[in-house]
Amino acid sequence: MASLHPRRHFGIFGRTSRFAICIAICIAVCATIYSAGAPAQAPIAATASQTQHKTTETPRNLSLKTRREIFERIWTEIDEHYYDPAFNGVNWDDVHTRYLPRVVAAKNNQEFYALMSELTGELHDAHTRFSSPEQWKSFKRQQRVSAGFSVDDVDGKTVVVNVRPQSSAAKAGIEPGMVLLSIDGRLVEELIAEIEKGRATSSSERATRLFVYGRLLGGAANSTMKVSLRRGDGTALDASVVRQTYSAIPQVATDVLPSGAAYIHFDGFQPRIVGQFRRALQRFHNSPGLVIDLRRNGGGDLSALLPIAGYFFDKKTLFAKDSTRSGKPLTQFAGIFRLPLELSVGKSGDQIYAGPVAILVDARSASSSEVFAAGMQDTRRAKIVGSPTCGCVLGIAKPRELKGGSALEMSEVLWFSPKGRKLEGAGVIPDEEVIPTVEDLRQKRDPAIAQAEKVLHQMIAGDRRIARR
């Protein structure tokens, strides 16, 4: 995610602009894992479309002295504060030895920034990442560049799984279920193999795959890529897609399902959505069942996760555990905020919804979404439906802003479920696994929602049997 922090986004894939104590649990694997298109942790290495993109102002190249200062600070911060003293099995001293000559040899800012992104990638950790000045500005503005559609491995093919409404991709006729064949004249299989060869693995196989697909479609704002796809009837679609900048501010959406169950979807745990979520829950408090859709939810803030979780409990309940390098609670900003090693939610009088809950997740559910799902699962407050989550569940205590406007985010907290399950790398395994097929996508079927309604019906029937005893 990006990240579990009280005032910052956790997520690999979406991050907020609040900087008071960030305990980022995001997956932000790719940062904040993710809009339709490139994840927030977009790669910095130049692509053809990026080099063609022109900006109104060309930043001056950093001096060798400044590059070395940035490199040394990144290396030292990780050396002293990274959550794992074994650095995920990486010889961190060797990393310094290997990268210093490359820092000295870097020809320009772009090459240097790409190198720093590669360096943080050595830790195989979706939350530890370097952002160039341009990326960091976009992050703080809560913006993301997207091709307007995203892809995933479905039935062994690279398939469109989501298309952003009103995007260039939607206007070009791209639809879920189409198989992506080539980009700018190159076969997708070749491009994927090339990306995988040049990129270290991330927190999990799922996180790595999402990074690869984000990189596959990534590029600079306003750049164009030509894509070739195959429809369900076997015919081809050739289209030109313009990558556009979109807002990454999360929203809450609600509905009532055919079964009568309430449905709430949101794509990020940020303080702005807490009130929206609470009002939706109050409106649905008498619903026979509730589906919470966390698919494509890349994470968010601890200050949003805890109150939202609290709305489902009528007494104080252990909801998550964490550990730090020192084994002691993490304190930031001269003790203004203290992160306990055990987090509880709920109290008498605060519960809004007491009925059965089903939570939808997928590989793009990252960071705080995973902590929420795991907490609800371990406390037996909800059933989890869908596919295994990202497995990107570490915490960023605070961003380190660097000379020239770049930034380092680094994992300092490891998160666990209430029962002590390590979530990083493993993710949350659904109680009911549902994997959509290519045909589901083409027919606009959502088997996960259908299964969630069945699960709620079973939970309601079980509650009635208990009540009759």
pLDDT tens profile 437-449 = 999 999 999 999 9
Over the chain, what is the mean pLDDT?
Answer: 86
Is pLDDT of 27 > 70?
no
CA 160 – CA 164 distance, rounded (Å): 11
DSSP secondary structure string, 398-415? --EE-GGG-EEE-EEEEE
Comparing 198 with 29, the larger pLDDT belongs to 198
Closest CA to 13 of 38, 43, 44, 40: 40
Does the pLDDT value for residue 353 go beyond 90?
yes
Q: Name the pairing type of β-strands 357-361 and 383-386.
A: parallel
Domain 252-393+416-468 has CATH 2.120.10.70: no
As annotated, the residues of the chain forming the CATH 3.90.226.10 domain(s) are: 252-393+416-468
pTM: 0.86
pLDDT score of 332: 58
Q: What percent of the chain is predicted at pLDDT more than 90? A: 74
Sequence ranges of the chain with CATH classification 2.30.42.10: 144-247
Distances (CA, A) of 451 to 311, 342, 378: 24, 33, 20
Report, as an integer, the average pLDDT of 84-111.
Answer: 97
- Residue 228 three-state SS: strand
**pLDDT tens track for 119-133:** 999 999 999 999 999
* H or E, element range at 324: strand 317-324
The conformational region for residue 414 under phi > 0 = left, psi -120 to 50 = alpha, else beta, is: beta
Query: Is the distance from CB of 343 to CB of 322 less than 8 angstroms?
Result: yes
What tokens were used for 118?
A: 């590669």
Residue 378's CB: how many other CB atoms inside 10 A? Answer: 20
The CATH number of the structural domain formed by 144-247 is 2.30.42.10
Is residue 15 predicted with pLDDT exceeding 80? no
39: pLDDT confidence band, cut at 50, 70 and 90?
A: very low
